[in-house]
């Protein structure tokens, strides 16, 4: 798919991603996005920080954060949608679990699946851009130069890149696969730490066709290994697969996701997820939650179909 995009895909206009926007306007945009997502503002606040995160004290005190860049309006917008996904999970934990060790997400893989679901499957869908377009133009008049289709394509621009945090949805999991394979080799002893930087660069060249010029854009770009988060990277992988499988189940049970998004049916989507995932907190394992919600075990099939269908549409590869 990546090769097909590079060779024969449409040229995507990405100028929207680089538009300058005053910070105060972006704060208004964040408030609008939280309202669109039907996040209860009485129980969830938003603040600013260097690196966006979500924290919660209980389901009635959840706090999300974002970081604003004047020339990267989409960055703050999608961090709000991403962290908002985490918040929606916590805000809809069952009341009977408050104050127990069962409150909160079942695992990081499940928690990240909610942030990736809202960020990518919802926030980067064409239906979502159709729904928010007119109110968004009121906040950001410069967007009148674009159609909803233009903006949809722009935020789904795909191209191999060196930094995981800035990677597009299509190439993102290759970044995770590289780290997972290197991590296994380190643990098994087949890879020496002294040669890790070179092994990293070789895998980037083999898998993505690009090579880091220095360790800052190579092996030192993540904090995980240095912080001791060994084995954490696969949670991002599991999250994306889980999000796509949940979306496929929704398509079967409550309607086409594109139509739901074009109608702004967040209440319906929240209700479906709350009934099957959120209210149970940590009562069930991740595996049990997914099987109960979707009626089948976790599989990569829905995610592969999702990527093929979406990026064939974005780049008109049909």
If one counts every other C-beta atom within 10 angstroms of the C-beta of residue 83, the result is 26
- Angle 82-262-25 (CA atoms, 0-180°, nearest 5)? 50
Helix 196-208 and helix 172-188, axial crossing angle in degrees, nearest 10? 150
Q: Helix, strand or coil for residue 37?
A: coil
Q: Could you tell me which residues come within 8 angstroms of residue 17 by beta carbon, excluding any fewer than 6 positions away?
A: 72, 73, 74, 154, 155, 157
End-to-end Cα, the chain, rounded Å: 12
Burial label, 25 (beta-carbon count in 10 A; 0-12, 13-18, 19+): middle
Backbone angles phi, psi at 203, to 5 degrees: -70, -40
CA 296, 122, 304, 236 dihedral sign is: negative
How many whole angstroms from its chain centre is CA 248?
Answer: 16
Residue 104 gets the label, from left (phi > 0), alpha (psi -120 to 50) or beta, of: left
Catalytic residues: 83
Distance, in Å, from the CA atom of 75 to the CA atom of 79, rounded to the nearest integer, reads: 6
């Amino acid at each position: 798919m990546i090769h097909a995009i590079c060779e024969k895909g449409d040229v995507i206009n990405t100028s929207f991603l680089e538009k300058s926007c005053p910070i105060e306007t972006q704060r208004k945009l964040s408030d609008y996005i939280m309202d669109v997502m039907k996040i209860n503002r009485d129980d969830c606040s938003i603040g600013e920080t260097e690196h966006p995160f979500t924290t919660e004290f209980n389901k009635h005190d959840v706090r999300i954060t974002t970081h604003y860049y004047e020339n990267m309006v989409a960055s703050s917008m999608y961090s709000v949608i991403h962290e908002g996904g985490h918040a929606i999970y916590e805000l809809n934990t069952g009341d009977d679990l408050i104050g127990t060790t069962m409150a909160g997400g079942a695992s990081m893989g499940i928690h990240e699946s909610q942030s990736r679901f809202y960020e990518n499957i919802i926030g980067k869908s064409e239906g979502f851009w159709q729904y928010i377009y007119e109110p968004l133009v009121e906040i950001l008049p410069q967007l009148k130069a674009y159609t909803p289709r233009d903006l949809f394509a722009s935020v789904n621009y795909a191209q191999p890149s060196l930094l995981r945090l800035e990677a597009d949805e299509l190439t993102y999991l290759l970044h995770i696969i590289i780290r997972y394979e290197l991590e296994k080799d380190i643990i098994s002893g087949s890879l020496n730490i002294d040669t890790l930087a070179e092994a990293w660069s070789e895998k980037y060249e083999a898998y993505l066709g690009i090579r880091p010029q220095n360790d800052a854009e190579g092996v030192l770009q993540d904090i995980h290994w240095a912080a001791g988060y060994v084995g954490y990277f696969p949670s991002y992988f599991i999250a994306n697969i889980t999000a796509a499988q949940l979306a496929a189940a929704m398509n079967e049970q409550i309607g086409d996701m594109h139509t739901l998004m074009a109608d702004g049916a967040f209440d319906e989507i929240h209700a479906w997820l709350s009934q099957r995932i959120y209210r149970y907190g940590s009562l069930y394992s991740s595996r049990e939650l997914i099987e109960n919600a979707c009626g089948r075990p976790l599989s990569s099939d829905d995610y592969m179909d999702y990527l093929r269908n979406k990026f064939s549409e974005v780049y008109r590869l049909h």
